[in-house]
């Protein structure tokens, strides 16, 4: 009787948490644009790069096409002038000759995080006091810069980031990861923000000021951190600034990835979150609305358990479909809704593995993740 009550309670709790997550997402003004485009201060875009794929040129060109009411400096950073992405950058700079864009071959790494080492060098070349950092695979709409820097005009806002979505997943593995990002991640962030102010950043795009960067020691202070986005936001928040989320959604585009690459990505992400927020991540398993109902049904088969499991699975798939539809605005694929409970089942394995090891693979390099979130090369 006790075990039956515990399992039933966990199943109902997971359903309640799923409904709460869904409601938190609905309250957020997703895709809302700034009311007006007033003149803006100059912006320096820091863009660390390594390698390229079929989506790289389109993603980079989207930054050249910004309809921004201010000056824009674009700094592309590479570790080597022989990197194939250099040809793409040079071609884009030539095609947009009126743009203030520059390819920078960065010097030796200052730490284990190659991306942040590049950012630390690019930061020194920035001519404007508003800094925007973006991953290489991010494509943005023409009005994005206007919208992402707008909250920085508000009192005490020190950093702005935004939600992102995986576009056009071409393999089943990428479809599975798309559920994790397009349906779950952004809604889980909003669920967290309904409890406490934001104290981390979302790494696809981050906008902040030179003043805030100087106060936390610049990117040079983060060169050994894996979760540079979390550390950047957390350190700015600890200085007393408010962190904001821009409602405009950007797109992350990449080449085809198989199960191994996607699995390594999800495991690296899980171990990163576990190190950054160990207690919340440990209890995150309670919100798995597939695990607990099916576990209750398997261990205590009864009509009540079967009914709850059926309701939970239906709500889970409906929520995943609706949340992905809201984020993408281009429609979700109903034929793939069954991947939501599959994602939950595999997430249990990832959750367990995140506590059973500290090794990750990042950009083809094997590293050890220390307890303080810094990296050591293996």
Query: Could you tell me if 201 and 161 are in contact, meaning their C-beta atoms sit under 8 angstroms apart?
Result: yes
**Position 161 pLDDT exceeds 70:** yes
Task: Please tell me the predicted confidence (pLDDT) of residue 331.
Answer: 63
> For residue 301, is it within any domain?
yes
Task: Please tell me the predicted confidence (pLDDT) of residue 36.
Answer: 66
pTM, entire model: 0.93
Task: Please tell me the predicted confidence (pLDDT) of residue 164.
Answer: 96
- Residue 354's domain comprises 2-27+274-377
**Position 37 pLDDT exceeds 80:** no
| Average pLDDT of span 37-66 | 92
Alpha-carbon distance of 113 to 224, in angstroms, equals: 5
> For residue 308, is it within any domain?
yes
Total domain count, the chain:
1
Closest CA to 140 of 169, 116, 167, 159: 167
Which pLDDT band, with edges at 50, 70 and 90, does 281 fall under? very high
**Position 366 pLDDT exceeds 90:** no
Task: Please tell me the predicted confidence (pLDDT) of residue 239.
Answer: 97
Of 45-59, 73-87, 350-364, the range with the lowest mean pLDDT is 350-364
> For residue 335, is it within any domain?
yes
> For residue 15, is it within any domain?
yes
> For residue 163, is it within any domain?
no
> For residue 171, is it within any domain?
no
**Position 260 pLDDT exceeds 70:** yes
Between these two residues, 342 and 107, which has the higher pLDDT value? 342
| Average pLDDT of span 201-218 | 97
**Position 251 pLDDT exceeds 80:** yes
Of 46-50, 70-74, 105-109, 156-160, the range with the lowest mean pLDDT is 105-109
Q: How far apart are the first and last CA of the chain?
A: 50
Task: Please tell me the predicted confidence (pLDDT) of residue 152.
Answer: 94
> For residue 98, is it within any domain?
no
> For residue 191, is it within any domain?
no
Q: What is the DSSP string of 102-160?
A: EEEE--S-SSS-HHHHHHHHHHTT--SSEEEEE-TTEE--TTHHHHHHGGGGSTTEEEE
- Distance between alpha carbon 131 and the CA centroid of its chain, in Å? 18
């Amino acid at each position: 009787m006790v075990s039956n009550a515990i399992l039933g309670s966990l199943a109902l709790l997971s359903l309640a948490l799923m409904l709460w997550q869904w409601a938190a997402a609905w309250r957020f003004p997703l895709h809302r644009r700034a009311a007006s485009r007033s003149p803006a201060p100059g912006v320096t875009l820091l863009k660390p790069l390594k390698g390229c794929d079929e989506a790289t040129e389109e993603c980079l060109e989207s930054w050249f096409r910004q309809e921004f009411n201010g000056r824009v400096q674009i700094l592309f950073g590479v570790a080597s002038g022989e990197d194939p992405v250099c040809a793409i950058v040079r071609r884009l700079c030539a095609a947009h000759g009126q743009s203030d864009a520059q390819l920078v071959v960065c010097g030796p790494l200052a730490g284990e995080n190659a991306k942040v080492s590049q950012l630390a060098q690019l930061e020194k070349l920035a001519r404007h006091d508003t800094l925007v950092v973006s991953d290489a695979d991010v494509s943005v709409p023409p009005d994005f810069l206007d919208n992402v820097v707008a909250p920085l005009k508000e009192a005490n806002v020190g950093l702005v980031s935004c939600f992102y979505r995986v576009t056009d997943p071409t393999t089943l593995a990428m479809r599975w990861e798309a559920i994790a990002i397009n349906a779950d991640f952004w809604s889980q962030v909003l669920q967290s923000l309904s409890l406490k102010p934001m104290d981390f950043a979302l790494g696809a795009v981050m906008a902040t000021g030179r003043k805030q960067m100087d106060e936390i020691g610049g990117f040079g202070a983060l060169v050994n951190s894996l979760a540079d986005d979390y550390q950047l936001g957390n350190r700015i928040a600890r200085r007393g600034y408010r962190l904001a989320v821009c409602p405009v959604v950007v797109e992350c585009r990449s080449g085809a990835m198989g199960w191994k690459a996607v699995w390594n990505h999800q495991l690296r992400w899980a171990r990163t979150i576990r190190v950054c927020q160990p207690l919340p991540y440990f209890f995150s398993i309670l919100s798995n609305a597939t695990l607990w109902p099916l576990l209750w049904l398997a261990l205590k088969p009864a009509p009540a358990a079967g009914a709850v499991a059926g309701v939970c699975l239906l709500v889970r798939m409906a929520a995943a479909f609706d949340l992905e539809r809201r984020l993408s605005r281009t429609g979700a694929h109903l034929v793939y809704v069954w991947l939501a409970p599959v994602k939950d089942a595999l997430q249990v394995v990832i959750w367990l593995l995140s506590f059973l090891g500290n090794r990750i693979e990042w950009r083809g390099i094997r590293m050890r993740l220390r307890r303080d979130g810094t990296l050591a090369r293996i």
